[in-house]
A and B are shown apart, each in its own frame.
Chain A
Amino acid sequence: MQVKAQIAMVMNLDKCIGCHTCSVTCKNVWTNRQGTEYQWWNNVETKPGVGYPKLYEDQERWKGGWTLDRKGRLKLKAGGKLRKLLNIFFNPDLPEIEDYYEPWTYDYETLTKAGPSDDQPVARPISQISGDPLDLAWGPNWDDDLAGGTTTARFDPNIRGELEESVRFEYEKVFMMYLPRICEHCLNPSCVASCPSGAMYKREEDGIVLVDQEQCRGWRYCVSGCPYKKVYFNWETGKAEKCTLCYPRIESGQPTICSETCVGRLRYIGLILYDADRVQEAASTPDEKDLLDAQRSVFLDPSDPEVVEQARYDGVPDDWIEAAQRSPIYPLAIEWGVALPLHPEYRTLPMVWYVPPLSPVMGFVEGEGSEADPDDVFPAIDELRIPVQYLANLLSAGDEEVIRNVLKRLAAMRGYMREKNLSGAGADEIADSVGMSPRAVEDMYRLLAIAKYEERYVIPLAHKELAAELEGQQGSCGLDFAGGPGSCAPAEPNGSRRNEAFYAMKEKLEQRAGELGSVPAPNVQFFKSKADFESFHLKGRPQGGGA
């Protein structure tokens, strides 16, 4: 057993209203640069629908994720290492910009400078890639809320088998749900395995999957290797970029920006301890339907003394072990088992899980003359608008029984709480009927319905003081490259480029280091003077004022 910690997320789809606030805040923070216009590190898809990029779930076409070879060994669906090197000149499985959409802006100048005229002036859309006028035919969330669903949604790869016969896109029979997606930060990431340059990696401490922008050589195999298509190619810099799980926020104990701004408060972030030695074994489980249980078996109970001892042995800090014990993810995914991974059949062991949504009972069940008992929801589980099989294709590799059990638990929780609110006493038999204790049902209700910020986001601070290379990194301009999202030294109005934040931080660090005694303060020895710092970071003397 080798214990590693992983930051994981759960989204409660029951509460997603499809407002796209997560996508918009993510875009404003990370991808509002040239080359990243089309990159939605967080996006919200309407399901059924083709998704983003179009039909990304069709792995027969894109060859993302893992599969088993004839001997049952795990291999990349797109082929092994030698095959990749022979194909290094041209990636046969790479989506084109049309599979996403061509980003555009509008010719506002013509509009604002238009003189008096008989005709209404318009701002024509122009491509942000070529600058040419563009006839818009597809864009972000073009099929939002099933818009155009009769022509596109039927191609949803999750509508297969019997569903193909039964799903109808007539107004009164239609169903839909929202699916917010970020990078899954998988335990067995196929993007990392696909990278010929070794530029992609999982962080040892928290499992966040990142692209080393300096080491990336732009071969684009991560883009095609990721079955969720959550690694994007920046066409301006020629490098791959992806969701960073907002690691600068996570390191300082804050939730990702998509979670922070989620209107429905449906996201949960916490730690999962897992057994790194068993990841490959779990991903190689022969039957796709057993992958969910296999992944759950890799997760370790953070309250188990043996696990705690091993975690300490493997270098997990004590406050991280405590955080793992308070994690909202562990009960949702394991204890109550109501959270499920997206497409476990890709064998990447994804770490963003979903609580499937309950949906209204189909009209013909609860319609006029219905004898259905409103408290007895179980018989109606199979009559919900969103077919159980559809959810199963999405969240449990097609195993309907898993979905049915989760939905029953969610329905039972509502029944239990209704009973408790009306009669004052909990209805233990309802909890019993889904194999949960009344206490567990109430805990689940608390976490899913009324949990506060601190309960939804249990994120321990990163132990950066343990990092060896801190002296070199601290205070440097994160992502301060051409085209990068941030620069730490914006020009002041008076022309000074002195970075006040840096000096404030530097002083604080020195003071704190003094108090602690044994800890060397980062940067203290590295920069002897302000001039040192400025000549190192600001590439020459500032113009006017400043130093």
Chain B
Amino acid sequence: MNLWDQFLWVIFPYLSLVIFVLGHIYRYVYDQYGWTPKSSQMFERRMLMWGVLLFHWGILFVFIGHVMGLLVPIEVYRAMGVSDHAYHLLALWAGTFFGVIALAGILLLNMRRWFISRVRTNTETMRFITDGLLLVVILSGLFATVGYRIYAAQYDLPAEFEYRENIAPWFRSLFYFAPQAELMLEVPLMFQVHVLLAFVLFALWPFSSLVHVFSIPLGYLRRGYIQYRSSNPQAARARERARRKGQQVPRPERSRNVE
């Protein structure tokens, strides 16, 4: 294993992940004001509706598929009695189905971004890059899923490439800090490309509008409808506590306005 392999499968992924984590912390601390998906729905509605719905719902299930393939070890499936063939059948059909949905969505979103004048004019460079990269990553992923089977059929290779025995353990090895770069060396090129492109995306993630992924407003479900904020939250809380107990709150002296 040469230095180049070490770089691709150890140094670069770690660089990317460090940027991902620290970048998000930095952005969250210093740029709350910029933390937004920056919608362009006002400018164009119809294409956005189709693009956004197809892409987001598609990518949501694609994400679940990646968790199933990368984070859940193959031993778990075998222990559960899911045969490798059954797994790959599901991965192929569900993966292709949702992959194509996400692809159609991101394709529409990219077209819209480039061809609709007022959307294009108000798009930052980073948005073009991440939207384009998302398209390429999804394309390469689909190509790895479907393309490998076509490739394998021509060269009499096993039709199902078992990425759960190399890519998945390599990916997990990154997180317990014992990276096994050698696992990635024999992986077909189309899978390698997909993985590397994904890590490029992770490195750009915190500096793009993709940060909105971490703002899914689940808190909304628990929150009361009408929100009040006090300029003196401590006093407001003390009043509220006293109210519940039916006590009088010590009052500040009247009108000490500092001009």
Residues of chain A having any CB pair with chain B under 8 Å: 2, 76, 81-82, 84-85, 88-91, 94-97, 102, 127, 129-132, 188-189, 192-193, 195-198, 200-205, 213-220, 233, 235-239, 279, 312-315, 317-319, 461-469, 481-482, 508-509, 512-513, 516, 519, 521-522
Contacts and interface: CB of A to CB of B under 8 A. Distances in A.
B33 A85 contact: no
A94 B33 contact: no
B56 interface: yes
Nearest to A481: B33
Nearest to B51: A90
Interface in B231-254: 231-236, 239, 243, 248-249, 251-252, 254
Interface in B90-125: 117-118, 120-122
Contacts of A464: 231, 257-258
A322 to B, nearest CB: 9
A189 B227 CA distance: 9
A196 B36 CA distance: 13
Contacts of B33: 213-214, 237, 239, 481-482
Interface string B25-60: 000000011111111111111001100110011000
Contact of B256 (A102, A129, A201, A465): A465
A200 B230 CA distance: 13
A396 to B, nearest CB: 24
12 contacts: A76-B225, A94-B41, A96-B41, A131-B121, A189-B226, A195-B220, A218-B36, A233-B42, A237-B33, A317-B254, A465-B257, A469-B231
A97 B57 CA distance: 26
A317 B41 contact: no
Contacts, number: 181
Nearest to B225: A193
Nearest to A253: B257
Contacts of B257: 461, 463-465
A198 B227 contact: yes
A468 B233 contact: yes
A203 B227 CA distance: 9
A183 to B, nearest CB: 15
A236 B227 CA distance: 26
B221 A512 contact: no
Contacts of A84: 220
A238 B39 contact: yes
A469 B234 CA distance: 10
Contacts of B45: 94, 96
Interface stretch (B155-163, B177-185, B211-219): B211-219
A509 B221 CA distance: 44
Nearest to A233: B42
A195 B38 CA distance: 16
Interface string B189-233: 000000000000000000001001001111111010111111111
Contact of A90 (B38, B43, B53, B212): B53
A475 to B, nearest CB: 12
Contacts of B44: 96
Given A76-B225, A96-B43, 12 more contacts: A85-B217, A94-B41, A192-B225, A193-B225, A202-B228, A220-B41, A238-B39, A317-B252, A464-B257, A467-B231, A512-B258, A512-B259
A202 B226 contact: yes
B126 to A, nearest CB: 13
B162 to A, nearest CB: 34
Contacts of B57: 89
Contact of B231 (A205, A239, A508): A205
A39 to B, nearest CB: 11
B217 A219 contact: yes
B227 A90 contact: no
Nearest to B116: A130
Contacts of A314: 239, 243
Contacts of A90: 41, 48-49, 52-53
